């Protein structure tokens, strides 16, 4: 039996709770090389392995990856179908390694529109890795910040109407409980690859005090070294959370 990974011997890292990444640029990476867009997505999936593997070693305890948004259904049918097949293959191929490496995997987003076989694979991976502690990996699949808030408010209003929640008790903490990310700390750092400088409906509620890093690199070219450099730079930032430091 393989031993699950823990901390790296002989190294000391300053902990950063939560890094979230908008993995952008797969299609452009392929197009610039005269390749089908799905080739770019496959290369992007390969990059995920490297980023997941190094995260605990550079002090990251929670990693959230934006894989497919609620807006991505607008893409060509062939690309969407190819992406869904890629997600299934990724889970089937990576499940054992993720578990052996002591990675806990969760998915956020609305599963109602996803293929039932994919949803079953997602649930199985979540259950298999539920006790793992080395890294908390969250994959946002059919996720949108506004959609998440809409679903949360809908459930909250039901609970208020049925007497389970007193309207006077509704607070930021209470609302956060209804979000997909209720088990996660808010992100400290959000990285977006590909040069685009927008948040694209990602973790809207949770990112109130997150630091952002927008980089030109396309996701398939985003190396572990570049990732480690960005995280190290974040650890030197002065985060005030609205307070004035004298």
The Cα 45–Cα 39 span in angstroms is 10
DSSP type of residue 224: H
**Residue 60 is assigned to a structural domain of this protein:** yes
Query: 25: phi > 0 → left, psi -120 to 50 → alpha, else beta; which?
Result: left
**Residue 5 is assigned to a structural domain of this protein:** no
Q: Is 75 helix (H, G, I), strand (E, B) or coil?
A: coil
**Residues acting as catalytic residues:** 24, 72
Query: In the chain, how many domains are there?
Result: 1
Q: Residue 128's domain spans which residues?
A: 16-145+187-234
Secondary element (H or E) of residue 67: strand 60-69
**Residue 191 is assigned to a structural domain of this protein:** yes
Picking from 185, 186, 188, 213, the residue whose alpha carbon sits closest to that of residue 199 is 213
Query: Cβ(197)–Cβ(216) under 8 Å?
Result: no
**Residue 227 is assigned to a structural domain of this protein:** yes
The Cα 59–Cα 227 span in angstroms is 12
**Residue 172 is assigned to a structural domain of this protein:** no
CATH number of the domain that 103 lies in? 3.40.1180.10
The phi, psi pair for 144, rounded to 5°, reads -150, 140
For residues 24, 63, 148, 79, the Cα torsion angle rounded to the nearest 10 degrees is 30
**Residue 102 is assigned to a structural domain of this protein:** yes
pLDDT in tens, 59-112: 999 999 999 999 999 999 999 999 999 999 999 999 999 999 999 999 999 999
The Cα 211–Cα 217 span in angstroms is 18
Buried residues in 91-109 as b, exposed as e (16+ CB within 10 A): beebbeebbebbbbbbbbb
Q: Which residue has the tokens 């694209």?
A: 200
- Encoding tokens for residue 23? 């993995």
**Residue 61 is assigned to a structural domain of this protein:** yes
The stretches in the chain having pLDDT less than 50 are 1-14, 241, 244
**Residue 242 is assigned to a structural domain of this protein:** no
Residue 2: count other Cβ atoms within 10 Å of its Cβ. 9
Q: What local confidence, expressed as pLDDT, does residue 5 receive?
A: 43
> How far apart, in Å, do the first and last CA atoms of the chain sit?
54
- How many degrees, rounded to 5, is the angle at CA 14 between CA 105 and CA 209? 70
Give 55's contacts (C-beta < 8 A, 6+ positions apart).
Answer: 19, 63, 135
Picking from 84, 90, 25, the residue whose alpha carbon sits closest to that of residue 52 is 90
- Give 74-83's long-range contacts (Cβ < 8 A, gap of 24+): 79/27, 79/37, 79/38, 82/38, 82/41, 83/38, 83/41
The Cα 43–Cα 220 span in angstroms is 6
């Amino acid at each position: 039996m393989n031993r699950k990974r823990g901390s790296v011997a002989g190294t000391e890292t300053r902990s950063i709770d939560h890094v979230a990444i908008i993995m952008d640029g797969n299609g452009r990476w392929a197009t610039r090389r005269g390749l089908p867009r799905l080739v770019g997505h496959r290369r992007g999936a390969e990059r995920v392995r490297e980023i997941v593997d190094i995260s605990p070693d550079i002090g990251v305890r929670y990693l959230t990856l934006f894989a497919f948004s609620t807006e991505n259904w607008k893409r060509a049918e062939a690309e969407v179908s190819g992406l869904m097949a890629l997600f299934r293959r990724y889970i089937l191929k990576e499940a054992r390694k993720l578990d052996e490496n002591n990675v806990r995997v969760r998915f956020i987003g609305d599963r109602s529109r996803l293929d039932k076989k994919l949803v079953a694979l997602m649930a199985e991976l979540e259950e298999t890795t539920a006790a793992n502690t080395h890294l908390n990996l969250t994959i946002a699949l059919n996720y949108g910040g506004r959609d998440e808030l809409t679903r949360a408010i809908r459930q909250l209003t039901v609970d208020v109407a049925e007497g389970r929640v007193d309207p006077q008790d509704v607070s930021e903490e209470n609302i956060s409980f209804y979000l997909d990310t209720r088990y996660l700390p808010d992100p400290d750092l959000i990285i977006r690859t590909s040069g685009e400088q927008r948040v694209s409906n990602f973790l809207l509620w949770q990112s109130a005090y997150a630091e952002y890093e927008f980089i030109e690199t396309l996701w398939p070219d985003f190396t572990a070294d570049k990732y480690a450099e960005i995280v190290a730079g974040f650890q030197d930032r002065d985060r005030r959370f609205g307070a004035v430091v004298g």
